[in-house]
Amino acid sequence: MAMKGVIASAVRTLASSGSSASSTTFTRHLHASAGSKKIVGVFYKANEYAELNPNFLGCEERALGIKDWLESQGHKYIVTDDKDGPDCELDKHIPDLHVLISTPFHPAYVTAERIKKAKNLQLLLTAGIGSDHIDLKAAAAAGLTVAEVTGSNVVSVAEDELMRILILVRNFVPGYTQIVNGDWKVAGIAHRAYDLEGKTVGTVGAGRIGKLLLQRLKPFNCHLLYHDRFKIDPELEQQIGAKFEEDLDAMLPKCDVIVINTPLTEKTRGLFDKERIAKCKKGVLIVNNARGAIMDTQAVVDASSSGHIAGYSGDVWNPQPAPKDHPWRYMPNHAMTPHISGTTIDAQLRYAAGVKDMLDRYFKGEDFPAQNYIVKDGKIASQYQ
């Protein structure tokens, strides 16, 4: 239902729970009041790559392609890649911005301290999927709306996961490295290269991305397992041929390949620590395009060094961007990349359009598509609880 006009400030007493703050006073409007708005976008700088593709919208130079549209309506649009440190460009605009747009690929970490300083802030938009760079409890307590473009890059990430599985199973990276280095040692690759067919692949999380991955794995004739809070629709589960595993620790030792597809929450932070990794099959391959903080960083390094993890691939780090001395850069048998899986050009077109649509609705006082809300009316979406 459309929300027209200005929503009056109200005091709401909420039950104390993980999804809301108790006895919280909301003093911010959830939708736009009349007048010009200051909108800040935080994106990575593309430099010389910016002009190579007109649809490269997710960089600072293109800024989702919405600058002319926003300014034509009288709004101020500030774009920067400088988001960290006490004197960063973002912090200069925190006190008077109304809307902050960020991406998971170059996240502007929206802490409780930043929220407290942002007196005019009403709306936090994620250009993509994954809003864990925002302190959601603090956002809920402050009466902010947090939203993302749900579904915008699920195909992109699922395809990337499938690629990474094959890269690890076939021991591709050392073979490529040989060629780059002028070598030719087939035995150095073949001694640990396998077929995917007949292997057991388990996904930790079977939401939109997890389901798409399972569907794409079906033609490879794998044994497919999944662990989630909820079971997949029975008809789809039968079509895919995937088996539900209620107990994560019981699923792990069955898997040759484990794919992480769960959001980062208080419950999943550090989920794969030393003890849980030890429960995995020796020689397991792990793919993680979800969030780096789901893994214990040093535990992954140690298990990769010992060979318990035979290969680790993903594009998510903790923190991001990853510092030059991050140990995952140097551990054996990895196939890591910067955070790229969800920011293909196709995905950028989708999440740029989604952000523009939500801004348009915000200016008109209309609700967003329900599935896009992460925080609304002081409540945090179930997937982040």
pLDDT category, 302, cuts 50, 70, 90?
very high
β-pairing, 123-126 vs 145-148, is parallel
pLDDT category, 33, cuts 50, 70, 90?
low
Q: Which of 75, 326, 339, 361 is catalytic?
A: 339
Write the pLDDT tens digit of every residue in 171-210.
Answer: 999 999 999 999 999 999 999 999 999 999 999 999 999 9
Q: Is 142 helix (H, G, I), strand (E, B) or coil?
A: coil
β-pairing, 334-336 vs 309-314, is parallel
Residue 153 known to be catalytic: yes
β-pairing, 38-42 vs 223-227, is unpaired
User: Percent of the chain having pLDDT more than 70?
Assistant: 91
Q: Is 207 annotated as a binding residue?
A: no
Whether 58 has a pLDDT exceeding 90, the answer reads yes
The pLDDT, as a whole number, for residue 29 is 52
Write the pLDDT tens digit of every residue in 342-364.
Answer: 999 999 999 999 999 999 999 99
Residue 291 known to be catalytic: yes
Q: Which of 106, 114, 153, 334 is catalytic?
A: 153
Q: Is 267 annotated as a binding residue?
A: yes
Distances (CA, A) of 116 to 27, 94, 95, 103, 112: 12, 10, 9, 21, 6
Q: Give the C-alpha separation, 263 to 334, whole Å.
A: 22
Q: Is 240 annotated as a binding residue?
A: no
Quick one: tokens of 247?
């107990």
Mean pLDDT for the chain? 92
Q: Which of 122, 288, 320, 372 is catalytic?
A: 320
Q: Is 164 annotated as a binding residue?
A: no
Residues 37-46 have a mean pLDDT of 98
Whether 6 has a pLDDT exceeding 60, the answer reads no
Residue 320 known to be catalytic: yes
Residue 106 known to be catalytic: no
Q: Is 115 annotated as a binding residue?
A: no
Q: Give the C-alpha separation, 244 to 8, whole Å.
A: 46
